[in-house]
Amino acid sequence: MEFNKAEFAKLLHLAKGNRSINKFGLDSGVDPGYISRLMRQLIQTAPSAQIINKLASRAFNDVTVEHLMAAAGYLPEETKFASLDSTIQADLIFDPELNIALYDGYNEFSPEEKEAVKAIVRNTIETFKRLKAERNAKLDEEK
């Protein structure tokens, strides 16, 4: 998966609708100059997931975060989140290597099973943070 500048630019034009770039930028909270450079395909790297979420949140013409994420290279082109419930959509981690919703079979889980998976991921992250803090404290004591 790679950043498809042409597709991303096309989607931004659709997302902008009949608004000016300045208005789209103001509505979405994204710098209009950056939007303009993306639309003219002058940017070589994909925008961050946070920027894409901002753009999608104010997009016209049914342009979705999934469309933009796929064009940016974060998701396979055929990946669509439309089948995911709103709770899962809100909890997505847009790091493509960590996004549990992209794992094969996840969408087949019941809501309770999905909550269990998310709890395991959260607990694992908290455990790693705690262990890291303990290790750093021990290293500081040894100095």
Q: What is the pLDDT of residues 106-121, one digit of tens each?
A: 667 787 887 777 777 7
pLDDT for position 35: 97
pLDDT for position 127: 84
pLDDT for position 66: 86
- For tokens 């042409």, name the residue: 6
pLDDT for position 129: 81
Residue ranges of domains in the chain, CATH in brackets: 5-78 (1.10.260.40)
60-76 confidence digits (pLDDT tens): 988 888 889 889 988 86
Mean pLDDT computed over every residue of the chain: 80
- Residue 30 clears pLDDT 60, i.e. is over it: yes
Contacts (Cβ under 8 Å, ≥6 apart) of 30 = 24, 51, 54, 55
Ranges 6-10, 69-73, 90-94: which has the least confidence: 90-94
Q: What is the band of 94 on the pLDDT scale with cuts at 50, 70, 90?
A: very low
